[in-house]
Amino acid sequence: MFTNAGMNQFKDFFLNNAISPNKRVADTQKCLRVTGKHNDLEDVGIDSYHHTMFEMLGNWSFGDYFKQEAIDWAWELLTEVYGIDKDRIYATVFVGDAEDFLKADSEAYEMWKAYLPEERILFFDRKDNFWEMGEQGPCGPCSEIHIDLRSDEERKAVSGGELVNMDHPQVIEIWNLVFIQFNRKADGKLEDLPEKHIDTGMGFERLCMALQGKTSNYDTDVFSEYIKDLEAASGLKYTGKYDGSSKSDIAMRVIVDHIRAVCFAIADGEMPSNTGAGYVIRRILRRAVRYYYSFLDIKEPLMYKLVNRLSNDFENVFPELKAQQDFVTQVVREEEKSFLNTLSDGLKRIEQLNLSDNCISGAEAFLLYDTYGFPIDLTKLIASERGWNIDEKGFEMALNVQRNRARNDARRSTSDWTESNDGNVRFVGYDTLEVKDAKVLKYRTV
C-alpha cells in the first residue's frame, strides 16, 4: 500500500526492466511502515527510534559500483565527514543460509576488517542480514551499521569492557547496505542478476540522533519543537521516559510521529477513508486522537495545529506539503472532529463492559467499529492496556456479514464512492469538507 523502503521506486532498474538515466543516485525517500511485512506501528512511541513515517536516505548503484565502494564510502561518510566515533560502530554480515544454498558473506567480512576489530563485526542470519522486498524480486545479503549511543560512563561500567549485546536499546541500527545480486523467482529459487547493484538505506531521524548526541529520535530537532507544542497545549511536562510509566510521554511521541505520516500521505494524495490505504491513514489518525484524548486530557481537535510547523520545516525538502497546507490542515481537523464526536461514547461503553472472561467479544468490537468508529487495532490497543483480549475472529465474521449484506444490496463500494445499480438514488448531500483549492474531493454521500 505504501512505499516502505527507498528501493521500491527503483525496482525496475534492479530487474533490468528499465534503464536508469543515472547509474549513481542519492536521495531521501519518505517511507511508511504501517502495514504488511514491515509494520512498526506498535513500537512507535514505546521505543525511541521506530516511526510510522520516516525519511530513508539512500545511495544507489545501478550496475555501477558494488560492495567495496559501498562499504568504503559508508565508513568515510560516517567517520570522516560526520565525525562519528569509530569505537562506537558495529557492522553485521550475512552468515549464510542452507535453504538457499548461500555461504556467509566473507567478502563483506574482509572489507569491514580493514576498519573494525573482529569483535565488532557480527554475523546474523537472513532475518536481519538478507534483504528482500517481498515474496519475489531483487534481493541480496546486507551489512548493517549500528551505533552504540550509550554514555562513556555507561560503556565503561559494563563488565567485559565496552562491547555490548546488539539487542541493547541504545545500540541502534542506522544504516543498511544491501548488495543486490539475486532475483527471487516465483518458485522461491534465487537466480543471479545480470548486473549487481547497491541499495542503501539510512534512517534520517536516527542519523540526527547520533549527530546531535541524543539517545532518542524525539530529542532531536526533528521532533522536539512539536513536543513543546504539545506540552503547551496540554500543560503537561514531557519527561522522556521509556519504561512505560508515563502515558503522557508515550502519547506525545505517538502524536508527533503520527501527524507526519498522516500529513504526508494526504499531501501525496491518499485521503483518509474507509477502505484500503485511506483507511490505514484514518486508523493512524484515530489512534493519535485517542492518545491525546485519554492521556493528555485534550478533548478538542489538536493535530491540525501542528500542520503549519510541519509544512514550514519541510518546505525545502518536500514542498508538496506547504503547497497544500490549508487543504491538509482542514482534512486533518475534520477527521479529528468527526472521531471526537463518537470517541467519548465509545470509551464510556468500553468502561462499562462487564467481562467475565477478560475478552471483548467479536460483536462488541464490531459495534465499537461500526457505531463509534473504533478501528479494530485501536480497540485491541485499549484492551491490551487493560490486560484484556479481543475476539478478532468474531469481529471479522461480523464484518463479513455486514459486507455481504452491502453486496446483496446491489451496491458496489469503490474507495469513498458508493455506486448504486438499482437506479433508485437520492442525493442527500456531501459529507462535510468544504475546502478551497482542493485538488480532488471524493467525499459524497448518496
Please say which residue, 174 or 265, places its beta carbon nearer to Mg ion: 174
Q: Which of Mg ion, ligand ATP, none interacts with 54 (beta carbon under 5 to 8 A by kind)? A: ligand ATP
As given in the structure block, the three cell numbers for residue 260 are 507526519
Closest approach of Cβ 55 to ligand ATP, in Å? 8
Please give the C-alpha separations between residue 199 and each of 17, 179, 188, 218, 329, in angstroms, as whole numbers: 17, 7, 21, 27, 35
Q: Does 205 bind ligand ATP (CB under 6 A)?
A: yes
Q: Does 30 bind ligand ATP (CB under 6 A)?
A: no
Residue nearest Mg ion, CB atom distance: 176
Q: Which of Mg ion, ligand ATP, none interacts with 266 (beta carbon under 5 to 8 A by kind)? A: none
As given in the structure block, the three cell numbers for residue 127 are 532475518
| Amino acid (1-letter code) at residue 123 | F
Please say which residue, 206 or 380, places its beta carbon nearer to ligand ATP: 206
Please say which residue, 92 or 338, places its beta carbon nearer to ligand ATP: 92
Is residue 395 within 8 A of residue 376, CB to CB? The reply is yes
Instruction: Report the distance separating Cα 255 and Cα 260, nearest Å.
Output: 9
Closest approach of Cβ 332 to ligand ATP, in Å? 21
Instruction: Report the distance separating Cα 237 and Cα 144, nearest Å.
Output: 36
Please say which residue, 141 or 203, places its beta carbon nearer to ligand ATP: 203
Helices 106-113 and 67-75, axial angle in degrees (round to 10): 30
Q: Does 339 bind ligand ATP (CB under 6 A)?
A: no
Range 139-178, binding ligand ATP (CB under 6 A): 173-176
Instruction: Tell how many helices (H) and how many strands (E) occur in the chain.
Output: 15, 14
Q: By three-state DSSP, how is residue 220 classified?
A: coil
Encoded one letter per residue, x for contact with Mg ion by CB under 5 A and - for no contact, window 117-156 reads ---------------------------x------------
As given in the structure block, the three cell numbers for residue 132 are 528482500
| Contact with ligand ATP (CB under 6 A) among 120, 184, 196, 206 | 206
Count Cα neighbours of 361 within 13 Å in the Cβ-side half-sphere: 8
Instruction: Report the distance separating Cα 271 and Cα 253, nearest Å.
Output: 23
Closest approach of Cβ 339 to ligand ATP, in Å? 24
Q: Which of Mg ion, ligand ATP, none interacts with 51 (beta carbon under 5 to 8 A by kind)? A: ligand ATP
Stretch that binds ligand ATP, among 19-27, 48-56, 322-330, 369-377 (CB under 6 A): 48-56
As given in the structure block, the three cell numbers for residue 72 are 568504503
Please say which residue, 205 or 334, places its beta carbon nearer to ligand ATP: 205
As given in the structure block, the three cell numbers for residue 271 are 485521503
Closest approach of Cβ 318 to ligand ATP, in Å? 16
DSSP 26-39: EEEEEEE-EETTEE
- Which has the closest alpha carbon to 288: 323, 263, 314? 263
| Contact with ligand ATP (CB under 6 A) among 122, 202, 343, 378 | 202
| Contact with ligand ATP (CB under 6 A) among 2, 14, 54, 292 | 54
Q: Which of ligand ATP, Mg ion, none interacts with 199 (beta carbon under 5 to 8 A by kind)? A: none
Instruction: Report the distance separating Cα 9 and Cα 4, nearest Å.
Output: 10
Is residue 371 within 8 A of residue 390, CB to CB? The reply is no
Please give the C-alpha separations between residue 428 and each of 52, 131, 418, 445, in angstroms, as whole numbers: 37, 51, 13, 6
Number of Cβ within a 10 Å radius of residue 431: 13
Please say which residue, 174 or 360, places its beta carbon nearer to Mg ion: 174
| Contact with ligand ATP (CB under 6 A) among 138, 141, 201, 362 | 201
Please say which residue, 4 or 379, places its beta carbon nearer to Mg ion: 4
Please say which residue, 205 or 364, places its beta carbon nearer to ligand ATP: 205
Please say which residue, 222 or 360, places its beta carbon nearer to ligand ATP: 222
Q: Does 329 bind Mg ion (CB under 5 A)?
A: no
Is residue 116 exposed (0-12), middle (13-18) or buried (19+ Cβ within 10 Å)? middle
Closest approach of Cβ 292 to ligand ATP, in Å? 21
Closest approach of Cβ 74 to ligand ATP, in Å? 11
Is residue 104 within 8 A of residue 123, CB to CB? The reply is yes
Please say which residue, 231 or 377, places its beta carbon nearer to ligand ATP: 377
Residues 6+ apart with CB under 8 A from 17: none
Q: Does 176 bind Mg ion (CB under 5 A)?
A: yes
Please say which residue, 147 or 331, places its beta carbon nearer to ligand ATP: 147
Helices 376-385 and 325-351, axial angle in degrees (round to 10): 50
Residues that bind Mg ion (CB under 5 A): 144, 173, 176
Residues that bind ligand ATP (CB under 6 A): 5, 33, 40, 50-51, 54, 56, 173-176, 201-203, 205-206
